[in-house]
Structures are given as C-alpha cells and as structure tokens.
Structure 1
Amino acid sequence: MNSLDWAVLIGYFGVMIAIGVWSHKRVGDVSDFFTAGGKMPWWLSGISHHMSGYSAVMFTGYAGIAYQYGVTSYVTWSFPIAVGIAIGAKLFAPRLNRLRSRLHVASPLEYLKNRYNIPTQQALAWSGVLLKIVDVGAKWAAIATLLSVFTGVSLNQGILITGVVTGVYCTVGGLWADALTELGQFVIQFLAGIAMLVAVMVELGGFSSLWTVWDDLPASHTEPTTGPFTVTFLLAYLFIKTFEYNGGMWNQAQRYMATSSAHEATRSARLSAALWFFWPLVLFFPMWVAPLLVKAEKPDASDSYALMSEQLLPHGLLGLVIVGFFSHTMAMCSSDANAIAAVFTRDIAPVISVKARSWSMRAGLLAARLSTVSFLALSMAIATQVNSPTFKDIITVVIKWVAGLMGPIAIPFMLGMLRPLRRSGPTAALVSWAAGLFAFWLTNYGLDGVELQIQIVSPLAISLVLYVLIGFIKPEATPERDAVLARINSDDDDSGAAAAVPVPAPAGDAVAPGATKD
C-alpha cells in the first residue's frame, strides 16, 4: 500500500464514523436502537440483510476453498444460502416482523418468555451470546489477517483498528447506523468487486476468459461438489443456512423486524436472496482462476486473493479492494453487536437485575450502548486466540463451530413461531437445545473420524427431531402460548399499524421491558 491506498482506507473509516454520528439523531429510544422503530425501507433492509451475512472470511477461508476446489465454493456456500433465504421469505420473515409490530418487542428472543418460559429464554440467550463472541472473534481475525498482508501491521493491531472504528459507529447510531453503513459498504463492495473482475479478465485475455480459462484449470474446478464438499455437505448446509440466515443468529432477524410490515419484510428477504444468487458469482470468479495468476503461500491458500490483489491492481484500486474486505467484516460484526446488545439488555439483564426491569428510556439506551461496546471488546479478545489449538483456524470456527452450534439455539426460537408446532413447549425447547449441544461435543471431540457434514448437521437435526417429537409426546400448549402464536401467525392487518395486544406472562415470572403481565 502507498499513500493513495491509505487515503482511500482512512477516508472509508471516516465516512463510516460520520454515518454513525448522523444516525445518532434518529435514535430516540431502545426500539430505534435495536429495530429502527419499524421504519426501515424494505430495500435498505434487504441490502443490510445481505451485507450482514458474510465477512472477510469470504476473501480468506472461502478464497482458499475456491483456489483449491473451484466452483464448489459457490455451489456449497452462497447458493444454499440464497435458497434458504428464499424459503424463509414467506415462512419466517413476516412472523419475525410481527414480533415487533404485534408484540412490541425489541429483541428477537423477547417473545420466548411468553412462548415458553424464562428459563428457556435464558438458556437460548446465554448460549447464543457466547457463541457469537467466538464467531465475531473469528471475523476480526480474518480481517486482521488481510490487513497484515497489505500493511504489515500485527494481528492484534489490525483487530484493534477495525474493532474501534466499528464500535464507534454502531454504538452511537444503533441499527440505523448499521444499515446505512452497510448500504455504503455495498456500493464500495460493488465497485471493488467489478474492479477485481475486470483486472483478472484483462490479465487472462479479455471478456472471453469467462469461458476459455477452464481448460487450463484442474478438471475438478468445474465439479459442483468435490473434495470434502460433497452432495451430503451441500444438503446439510442448505438445511443449516435456512435456519441461520432467516434469523437463527438474530442479526438477520432484526432486519425483518425493522421493516414497517410483514409484507415489506418478505420483499426484503427476496431482495437478499436475489443478491446471494448473483453477486457472489462476480466475487468468486477471480478466486476460481487464481491458480493461473498467483501461487498461494499458505497451505490452505487463504492468502491467494490478497496476493492476487497486490499483483493486479494499481494503487487506489488496491485500496478500494481492501476497503471492500473491511466492508464485509464490519457489516457482519456491527450487526451482530447490535443483536447481542438487544438480547442482553432486553432478555438477560431484566432477569439478573431488578433495576433493569424499570430502566428509564435514557437508562435503557445507555445500557444498550454499553452492552454493544462490551460485546465488541470480548470478541476482539477472542480474536487474538482464534488460531490457538482450541479453535485451530478461522475457517474451522466459521464452518464447524458456528454451523454446528447455531442449530440448537435456532430451533426453539424459530420453530416456536409456527402454529403447527404449538404443542412444543418449554420441555421440548430445553431438551432439544441441550441434546443438540451434546451432539456437537460428541461429534467434534468425543468421537474420532466423524465426517465434516455429520459434525455440522447432527446438532441441528437432533434438535429438530426432538423438538417436534417431544411436542407430540408431552404437549404443553396453553391459552397464553396460543395467544402469542395467534398474534404472530395472523395476516390480518399486516400494514404495520396494528396495535399490540398485551400478552400475559406465565404466573410468577419476571417481566422484561416491553411485555405486560396480568
């Protein structure tokens, strides 16, 4: 990098902070901070949903997969995500929106107190928070790895720089700042992606290289499934991502909650699905042909995209591509920080602190911002350990830990919104959650030689089967729980203007902010 590249990078950081400061004016209460007050346009929500779904791991871990195995990186990653989001556009997106518009909650998990009980809500909240700290730590490590390739700064310095900048804008501006910066990041990413695609095509002989280079690459590069990424892996990934990217990891759920109505949430999901279908093809082509242009130095080829950028792009454009790297990770990490802060302040704090149940608007907003800062600090600390023997490497954390542990948390949360599963109550939720976590430990650390696809799909599959089965064996439907489901599933008056009907909490349970108790 030279002074021009640094100017582009510093200018990007400055614009992100400026957007956060501007967004600060739109945040008047906790609802604005966590769900944009239900006023976010569907197209902004859709772009934000897309951008918050992947990070710089795309340019490290998945770039290495594309370098070694070819088009399977798209077929077994972004394609199943697109299909999963398209499925959820009608199944989950409108119901998530009704959590806010009908029940007036500000956190995705806030309704679980009434749908199940407080112990279930707390189990899902605490386990999800801990998982997300590890997940975002991997994202910080990925972007710091890229920064070190270009600038020579240490891993810890890179983590600190990106974490501080992200912390400033997402803490002061909440979800509005996240969404608006993600819009800006999408524009930058588009320009950087096109610049890289053009540079690669020019180097390989022009536009015709899109179809002429494949004979020069290994034959397996055109196989849709190859190596460890088998058809079974593809189906497992589709199964997992349908839950994860429709709200199972909470930050995407907030995008649907932030739109004005259930119909707008559906439109938002369809836009995100379309972007996942088409845009990764532009990003992946340079990675697929990278073996013809550079020789990766790392065994997993995770440095291939960075090396190719250095070799092909002039200064200025190189800085733009680096900014594109940052845009991915900062979008995901800031959205995760906002989601975790929502869960902590709305779901966890009111249970562990009596004072939190009667926070004023100002105190609640201050707690939201402090929670955001705390989460970012913890995830940055984890990032410095992501290459330790416990975590092994970045891509292991992202594929194995997150995909494997997400399911037991997502199943009770997401399936709990569906009326056909009204019989599944607290017992089904807690048993399925605990069994899924045990399955993750068993397949990853208790048994030797378990295939990757079994490791990542078994926790979700076991949680799903037990959740449904226990609901039939031990039905726990009650009038109060049915009332919650009726509000979430009814499509009457989905204009967003429907008044919320107070939902009674289970007798004796503490009531979190935003709920009422008879």
Structure 2
Amino acid sequence: MDTLDWVVVGGYFFVMVAIGYWSRGRVRNIADFFTAGGRMPWWLSGISHHMSGYSAVMFVAFAAEAYRLGLTVYIWWALTIGVGVGIGAFLWAGAWNRLRSRHGVKSPLEYLARRYNVPTQQIMAWSGAALKVVDIAAKWVAVALLLQGFAGVPVWIGIALTGVVTMVYSVLGGLWADALTDFGQFVIQGLAGIVMFIAVAAHFGGIDFMWTIWDQLPESHSDPLSGQYTLIFFMALFLIKTLEYNGGMWNLAQRYMAAPSGAAAKRSALLSSALWLLWPLVLFFPMWAAPLIVPGMEGNAEQAYVEMGKAMLPAGMVGLVLAGFFSHTMAMVSSDANVISAVITRDMLPRLWKGVNRLGEAAQLRLARITTFAFIGLSMTIALTADTKGFVLKVVIALVAATMGPIAIPLMLGLLPWFRRVGPTAAISSTVGGLLTWAVLYVLQQNKVAFVTQAVIVSWPLLVSLVLYLVIGLLLKPEPSADRSALVDSLRSDEEEERVPARA
C-alpha cells in the first residue's frame, strides 16, 4: 500500500469515530441507545439492516468459495437472504416494531419472558450471546487477514485497530452511531465495489465480461449448486437465513424496532431485500473472474481477492477498497455489540442482580455502555488467540449457520399468530434439542465420520428444532394462554385501535 492508501484508510477511521462522538448527543437514555427512540427514518433503517448483515467474511471465506466453485455462493447465500428478507417484510418487520411501540420492549429477547417464560428467555439469551461472541471473533480475523494481505500488517494489529475504533463509536453513540456509520459505510462500500467492478471490466475489455467469463472458467462454475453445497444445504440455509435475517440475528430486529411505525419497518425490510438481491452481484462478479486474473490460488483462495486488488488497482483505490472491507465488518460488529448489550442489560443481568431494575436512567445508560465495551473486548480476545487458518469459514458455516436455527425458531415463530398455542415446553425443547443435535454432529465431524457433511451439520439441528417446536407445541403439549394470544394479536397491525399499555 502507498501513502495515499494509508491516508484514505486513516481518514475513514477518523470519520467513524467522529460520527460516534456526534451521535453521543442524541443518546439520552437506553431507549435511544438500543432502539434510537423509534425515530430512525425507514430508508436509514433499511440501509442499516442491509449493512449489518455481512462483513469482511464475504471477501475472505465467501470469496474463496467463489474462486473455487463460482456462481453457487450467490445462490445459497445472497439469494436466500434477499428472498427471505422480502418474505419477512410481510411477516415479521412490523411485529418487531410494535413490540417497541406498544410494549416498551428495548431488547429483541425481552418479549420472550411474557410469550413463553423466563427460563426460555434465559436459555436463548445465554446460548445466543455465546454464539455471537465467537461469530464476531471470526469477523475480526477476516478483516485482519485482508489488512495483512494488502499491507503486510500483522493480524493482531489489524484486530486491535478495527476493534478499538468500533468500540469507541459503539460505546459513545449506541444504535444511532451504528446506523449513521452504516450509512457512511454504505457509501464507501458502494464506491469501493464499483471501483473494483470497473477495474475488472476494463481488464477484460468491457462490461460483456459478465457473460463471457463463464466460457473460460470450469463448466461447474456456472452451476447454481456445486461441491458440498447441495439442494438439501440450500433448502436448510434458506430457512435459516429467513429466520436469521428477519430477527433471529438479533441486531437486525433492532433495525425494525428503531423505525417510526410497523409500516415504516416493512418498507425498511423491502429496501434491504432489494439491496441483498442486487448489490452482491456487483461484489461477486470480480470474485468469479478472479481465477482468470490471479490463477493458481486454489490452495490459498482466501487471499485471492486481496491479490487481485493489489494487481489491478492504482494508489488510493487500494485504500478505498480496504476501507470498504472495514466498513462491512465494523457495521456488523457494532450492531451486534449494541444488541448483545441490550440482551445483557435487559434480559440477563436483571435475573442475576435485582438491583438493575432500580437503577436510574443515567446509570442504566452507563451500564449499557460498559456491557458494549466488554462484549467487543471479549470478542477481540478470542480473535487474538484463535488459529486463523480456516477459522473464518469454520465459524460461519459449521457453527453460526448450524446453530442459528435452534436459537431463532422459538423467537421468530413466537411472533406469528399460527403458533399462538405453542408454549414454553415446546420452545425450550426446540432450542435445547437442536443445540444438542449440533453438538453431537460437530464432534462426529471432527472425528471424520463420513456421513456428517456440510449439509447434514447445517440441516439436522434445524430440522430437529423445528419438529420439536411443532410436534410438542401443537400436538403433544399445546399451552394456550389468553395473555400470550393478546400479545401476539397486538402485533398484527398499526391500525389496531385498542392499544396495549407499554410497560416500563
């Protein structure tokens, strides 16, 4: 990297910290810190939702899969998310918003204590928080590997640099800082992605490279599903991503909660859906063309995008693309840190320390900032001590994707009226059964048991969790409750005249 590249990266970090400092003035209480007080414009909510959904993992693990296998990574990843978020616009987006506006909910898990019971809420809170801290550690490693590839910076320095900057603006500005930096990062990412796309098009002599490269690549690169990514894997991941990106990934539920109304949240979801379907194509085409530009990297495909960028981009542009990588990771991590802080502050600590509920507004806000700081610090510690080789893809697929279903199913289906009779017995059985299934399969996979393929480790925990939830909740032990039905009914429409009093 040249001096101009470092100036661009340094300027990016400065702007992110400045936004966090400015946002601090908009945060007066924990409602502002966790849900922006319900005042976030729908378009900003939608862009923030989109930006918070992916990170530099795309340019490391997913770029490696695009290099090795071609088209399939868009089909099983971006397409499943885009369609899933579009479906969720009609099923979940408005419901999340009404939890805030009608019930005073500030954490996505807060409603579970009433919808099921406190043990259900606590099981999901602790298991989900543990999952997230490892997931974010993978994001730090991914962006540090990119910085190492572009500039030769040691991985630990990359983790520390991005972690500290993210920590500063997240702790200061809460969800407002997250959303505003998401928008700035959206602009930077857009410029970086277009610069790379144009550079690749120029290399091949025009925009027609989008359809001519496939004749020069292996025939399997144009297959929608290939390698270990089978139809079963695709179907399982589609259900997982539909649940995950509509609120199963808790930080994305916050974006809907922050909008002014349920209808505005729905528009946010539709905008995010459109971005998911279109924008990854701009990012993926250079990855698909990479084997023709930097051949022979199958053994180290995680560095393919880095090598292509160094070979093709002029001074200053490398820094812009690298800033785009940072923007992905920092957007996701800051939003995750904010929502984990909400879950710890609103759902976990009150069960361990009754005094939390007696804290004043200023003390609650201080506690929220402390938990945000602690979460980011812990995730950085895990990243700094991890074996980086293969760590990113292993965490993203074998851990996060495989366990997200059991954690998300009771949370997400509990918002829908068709499952109003499902109670805590089914919810706890679903989560625990799905996670135990994953644990057994993971041990078998580490011992090289042949039948435990990528499709199996992703689909079986999801299937077990879903079957337990439906069979126990609807057939074996339904637990209908007037209070639960009233809660679910209150989330259906903005036009409902009878308002449920908000609780403190």
TM bin, normalised by shorter chain, reads: over 0.9
CA distance in 1, matches of 2:213, 2:470: 49
Conserved in 2, the CA contact under 8 Å of 1:296 and 1:304?
no
CA distance in 2, matches of 1:427, 1:437: 16
Alpha-carbon deviation of 1:486? 2.2
Query: Helix, strand or coil for the counterpart of 1:136?
Result: helix
Match of 1:489 among 478, 488, 492: 492
Stretch deviating more after TM superposition (221-230 or 23-32):
221-230
Q: Which residue number in structure 2 is paired with residue 339 of structure 1?
A: 339
Q: Name the one with the larger helix percent.
A: 2
Conserved in 1, the CA contact under 8 Å of 2:47 and 2:271?
yes
CA distance in 1, matches of 2:208, 2:91: 41
Alpha-carbon RMSD across the aligned residues, in angstroms, is: 1.5
Q: Structure 2 matches for 1:203-282, cutoff 5 A?
A: 203-282=203-282
Q: Which residue number in structure 2 is paired with residue 322 of structure 1?
A: 322
Query: Helix, strand or coil for the counterpart of 1:301?
Result: helix
Q: Structure 2 matches for 1:134-153, cutoff 5 A?
A: 134-153=134-153
Q: Which residue number in structure 2 is paired with residue 460 of structure 1?
A: 462
CA distance in 2, matches of 1:490, 1:209: 47
- Deviation sequence 1:433-472 (CA, Å, 0-9, x none): 1100111012221462212111112112211111111112
Q: Which residue number in structure 2 is paired with residue 510 of structure 1?
A: none
Alpha-carbon deviation of 1:73? 1.3
- Deviation sequence 1:254-275 (CA, Å, 0-9, x none): 0000001111111000000000
Q: Which residue number in structure 2 is paired with residue 471 of structure 1?
A: 473
Q: Which residue number in structure 2 is paired with residue 437 of structure 1?
A: 435
- The amino acid that maps onto 2:400 is V
- The amino acid that maps onto 2:177 is A
Alpha-carbon deviation of 1:387? 2.5
Q: Structure 2 matches for 1:80-229, cutoff 5 A?
A: 80-229=80-229
Conserved in 2, the CA contact under 8 Å of 1:386 and 1:394?
no
Q: Which residue number in structure 2 is paired with residue 509 of structure 1?
A: none
1:490–1:207 distance in 2 versus 1, CA, 3 Å: closer
Q: Which residue number in structure 1 is paired with residue 50 of structure 2?
A: 50
Q: Which residue number in structure 2 is paired with residue 507 of structure 1?
A: none
Conserved in 1, the CA contact under 8 Å of 2:430 and 2:464?
yes
Query: Helix, strand or coil for the counterpart of 2:491?
Result: helix
Q: Structure 2 matches for 1:307-456, cutoff 5 A?
A: 307-387=307-387, 392-446=390-444, 448-449=449-450, 450-456=452-458
Unaligned runs of 5+ in 2: none
**1:35 lines up with 2:26 in the alignment:** no
1:404–1:300 distance in 2 versus 1, CA, 3 Å: farther
- Deviation sequence 1:179-205 (CA, Å, 0-9, x none): 110101011111111100111111112
Identity of aligned residues (%): 54
CA distance in 2, matches of 1:89, 1:236: 20
- The amino acid that maps onto 2:96 is L
CA distance in 2, matches of 1:322, 1:261: 36
CA distance in 1, matches of 2:298, 2:218: 19
Query: Helix, strand or coil for the counterpart of 2:225?
Result: coil
Q: Which residue number in structure 2 is paired with residue 295 of structure 1?
A: 295
1:443–1:147 distance in 2 versus 1, CA, 3 Å: same
1:180–1:388 distance in 2 versus 1, CA, 3 Å: closer
- The amino acid that maps onto 2:90 is K
CA distance in 1, matches of 2:380, 2:296: 27
- Deviation sequence 1:410-444 (CA, Å, 0-9, x none): 11111111122111111111111110011101222
Alpha-carbon deviation of 1:91? 0.6
CA distance in 1, matches of 2:90, 2:494: 11
- The amino acid that maps onto 1:470 is I
Conserved in 1, the CA contact under 8 Å of 2:423 and 2:479?
yes
CA distance in 2, matches of 1:360, 1:443: 46
Alpha-carbon deviation of 1:298? 6.5
Conserved in 2, the CA contact under 8 Å of 1:387 and 1:394?
no
- The amino acid that maps onto 2:12 is Y
CA distance in 2, matches of 1:396, 1:212: 33
CA distance in 1, matches of 2:230, 2:157: 38
Conserved in 1, the CA contact under 8 Å of 2:53 and 2:245?
yes
Alpha-carbon deviation of 1:295? 3.2
Alpha-carbon deviation of 1:359? 1.3
- Deviation sequence 1:60-103 (CA, Å, 0-9, x none): 10111111111111111100110110111111111111110111
CA distance in 2, matches of 1:394, 1:281: 22
Alpha-carbon deviation of 1:491? 4.2
Conserved in 1, the CA contact under 8 Å of 2:236 and 2:462?
no
